[in-house]
């Protein structure tokens, strides 16, 4: 007890402030630790919350949106060869036990990504002879 | 991502495992030179072609003229541009259960069927969205699809009872011409080779071994085509096709300085934003071809080709806004030189 009282009333030589010289720098002010503590606390809470959610909450079906390959917008092959268009599709992954709604297209996740094979159509040869009588067209009047 | 395929393979693997031959049909012949009867109809042009020998031309003239009159009567019941049509009466009726006559009932059933076959993209419940796109109605009503807010139950002698939710109105523009073309073709049973051209949507029948030649219009340049189809019936069997074209480059207009077109995306209730300028589909009927062509335009080229693949069409030619003319591989078997 005496020791404590002694420490409380008489400054220890270790912490006693040295006499300052007239030209010495003023002591550095300590930064306030409270904002950093608050930030660390909030970060910890967020991390804890995320871990808790991953452990406790059921996994939600992820919506997977494959990126659109800008190459797909490139100029087409004009040689008339078949080309394969890999489509950017959006789909919902079913969880075990879930069933797709009636009529939905179900894609096997282990299979290759769906593609459509198309061909470029060569321009029809200009015919000097009789014109073709039957023609399929868009409906409506042509707007200049 | 764009990979060249082996041209030597006679078959190309398609989405869903469908197989398509790219070999030309055996027995292609010179195309039929038909007797043709044209008339203004359905806000456009109705043309009926039949293969008629010289001795039957007068008979062909009578048959086709009678059919034009019949088509006019159907169209008068089904148009939304007349207040007295069966369709306009149905749309104006405030009741939730309305009896309809056989012709309209049959077309409404066809409309329900194509909604299913196009995975919802060809939708006959978008009248308000269409009017809003034309600047003729406000956008304060439900514009997106109401395809499943109505039903149709059979009545007496082909008539039916339509049950619908309040405010639902029908627009049959997207299916009417194809349906009429198919129906009209059935009235030409005396002509083994015949075509009904309902403003560009074609119902085609071909006698065994005969060939119809059909040009696919190029919307960029008048009087030119982007492809020529040769539809040949095999020996021993008649051929039956529907060929229809839909697009956004002809039927369009300006509203408040913005260009709009008539193909409404049921998911947004607004004119479709798409890279497809025009789609032509060859299928088993004009109704199906018309609906699938419209759906391909609305869906865009990637999803559109996949949809057409799933629908197992006989061919499809798509013109994109990048200037590409693309087709499903099986279309090669139908292309003329």
Q: For chain A, how many helices (H) and strands (E)?
A: 2, 5
Comparing CB atoms, the residue among B1, B217, B302 nearest residue A136 is B217
Confidence (pTM): 0.73
In angstroms, the CA B167 to CA B144 distance is 13
Q: Which residues of B97-125 are buried (b: 16+ CB within 10 A; e: fewer)?
A: eeebbebbbbbbebbbbbbebbbbbbbbb
pLDDT greater than 70 at residue A68: no
Contacts of residue B158, defined as CB under 8 A and 6 or more positions apart, other chains included, come to B102, B105, B106
pLDDT digits (tens, 9 = 90+) for B133-151: 877 776 666 677 788 889 9
pLDDT at A141 (0 to 100): 62
Q: Which of B302, B315, B322, B333 to mutate to test the interface with A (most CBs of A within 10 A)?
A: B302
What is the sign, positive or negative, of the torsion defined by CA atoms of B261, B79, B106, B290?
negative
Out of A3-12, B101-110, B127-136, give the one with best mean pLDDT.
B101-110
pLDDT at position A3 over 60: no
**φ, ψ at A118 (rounded to 5°):** -130, 170
pLDDT over 60 at A122, yes or no = yes
Distances from the Cα of B19 to the Cα of A121, B7, B15, B102, angstroms: 19, 15, 9, 39
Mean pLDDT value across residues B302-309: 92
CA B246 to chain A, closest CA, distance in angstroms equals: 5
B327/A118 touch (CB, cutoff 8 Å), yes or no = yes
A65 pLDDT tier (thresholds 50, 70, 90) = very low
Residue A52 CA to residue A55 CA, distance in Å, equals 5
Contacting B with CB below 8 Å, chain A residues are 69, 71-77, 81-89, 103, 105, 114-125, 132-143
Q: How many residues does chain B have?
A: 337
Q: Return residues 35-54 of B near A (CB < 8 Å).
A: 36, 44, 47, 49
- Better pLDDT: A104 or A41: A41
Number of Cβ pairs < 8 A linking chain A and chain B = 174
Contacting residues of A for B212, CB less than 8 Å apart: 134
Burial (Cβ within 10 Å: 0-12, 13-18, ≥19) of residue B291? buried
The band of B7, judged by pLDDT with boundaries at 50, 70 and 90, is very low
Cα(B204)–Cα(B36) distance, integer angstroms: 14
pLDDT at residue A37 above 80?
A: yes
Please give the pLDDT value at position B180.
Answer: 97
* SS3 call for B337: coil
> pLDDT value at position A127?
60
Over range B304-322, report the average pLDDT: 94
From chain B, pick out residues whose CB is under 8 angstroms from the CB of A115.
15
Residue A98 predicted with pLDDT over 80: yes
| ipTM tops the 0.90 cut | no
Name which of A70, A101, A138, A140 to mutate to probe chain B: the one with the most chain B Cβ atoms within 10 A of its Cβ. Answer: A138
**Residue B204, strand partner residues:** B195, B241
Using an 8 Å CB-CB cutoff, list chain B residues near A128: none
Look at B2 and A77 and tell me if their CB atoms are within 8 Å.
yes
Instruction: Give residue-wise pLDDT tens across range B137-188.
Output: 766 666 777 888 899 999 888 899 999 999 899 999 879 999 999 999 999 9
Q: Which residues contact B245 (CB under 8 A, 6 or more apart)?
A: A136, A137, A138, B200, B201, B216, B217, B278, B279, B280, B281, B293
Q: Is B241 exposed, middle or buried (0-12, 13-18, 19+ CB in 10 A)?
A: buried
Torsion sign, CA atoms B88, B91, B93, B99: positive
- Interchain contact, A124 vs B227, CB within 8 Å: yes
Highest mean pLDDT among A66-75, B89-98, B258-267: B89-98
Share of chain B above pLDDT 70, in %: 90
B216 touches chain A (CB under 8 A): yes
| Residues of chain B with C-beta less than 8 angstroms from the C-beta of A70 | none
Q: What is the pLDDT of residue A99?
A: 85
Collect all residues of chain A within an 8 Å Cβ-Cβ radius of residue B119.
103
């Amino acid at each position: 007890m005496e020791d404590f009282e002694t420490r409380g009333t008489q400054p220890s030589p270790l912490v006693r402030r040295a006499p300052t010289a007239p030209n010495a720098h003023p002591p550095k002010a300590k930064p306030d630790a409270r904002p950093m503590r608050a930030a660390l606390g909030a970060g910890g809470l967020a991390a804890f919350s995320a871990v808790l959610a991953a452990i406790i909450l059921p996994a939600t079906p992820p919506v997977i949106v494959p990126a659109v390959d800008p190459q797909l917008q490139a100029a087409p092959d004009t040689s008339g060869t078949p080309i394969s268009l890999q489509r950017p599709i959006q789909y919902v992954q079913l969880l075990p036990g879930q069933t797709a709604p009636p009529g939905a297209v179900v894609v096997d996740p282990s299979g290759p990504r769906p593609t459509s094979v198309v061909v470029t159509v060569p321009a029809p040869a200009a015919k000097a002879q009789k014109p073709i009588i039957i023609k399929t067209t868009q409906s409506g009047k042509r707007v200049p | 991502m764009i990979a060249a395929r082996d041209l030597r393979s006679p078959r190309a693997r398609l989405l869903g495992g469908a197989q398509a031959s790219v070999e030309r049909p055996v027995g292609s012949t010179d195309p039929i030179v038909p007797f043709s009867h044209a008339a203004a109809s359905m806000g456009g042009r109705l043309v009926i072609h039949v293969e008629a020998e010289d001795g039957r031309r007068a008979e062909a003239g009578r048959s086709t003229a009678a059919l034009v009159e019949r088509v006019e009567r159907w169209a008068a019941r089904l148009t939304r541009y007349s207040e007295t049509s069966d369709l306009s009466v149905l749309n104006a009726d405030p009741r939730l259960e309305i009896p309809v006559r056989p012709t309209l009932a049959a077309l409404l059933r066809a409309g329900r069927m194509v909604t299913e076959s196009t995975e919802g993209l060809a939708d006959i419940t978008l009248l308000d969205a269409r009017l809003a796109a034309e600047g003729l109605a406000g956008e304060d009503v439900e514009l997106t699809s109401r395809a499943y807010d109505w039903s149709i139950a059979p009545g007496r002698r082909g008539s039916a009872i339509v049950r619908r939710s309040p405010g639902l109105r029908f627009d049959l523009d997207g299916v009417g011409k194809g349906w009429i073309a198919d129906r009209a073709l059935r009235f030409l049973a005396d002509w083994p080779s015949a075509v009904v051209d309902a403003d560009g949507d074609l119902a085609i029948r071909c006698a065994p071994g005969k060939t119809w030649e059909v040009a696919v219009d190029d919307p960029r340049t008048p009087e030119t085509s982007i492809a020529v189809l040769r539809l040949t019936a095999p020996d021993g069997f008649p051929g039956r096709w529907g060929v229809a074209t839909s697009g956004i480059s002809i039927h369009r207009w300006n509203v408040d300085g913005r260009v709009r077109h008539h193909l409404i995306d049921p998911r947004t209730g607004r004119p479709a934003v798409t890279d497809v300028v025009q789609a032509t589909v060859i299928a088993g009927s004009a109704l199906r071809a018309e609906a699938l062509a419209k759906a391909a335009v609305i869906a865009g080229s990637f999803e559109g080709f996949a949809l057409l693949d799933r629908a197992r069409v006989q061919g499809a030619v798509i013109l994109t806004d990048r200037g590409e003319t693309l087709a499903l591989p099986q279309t090669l078997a139908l292309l003329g030189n």
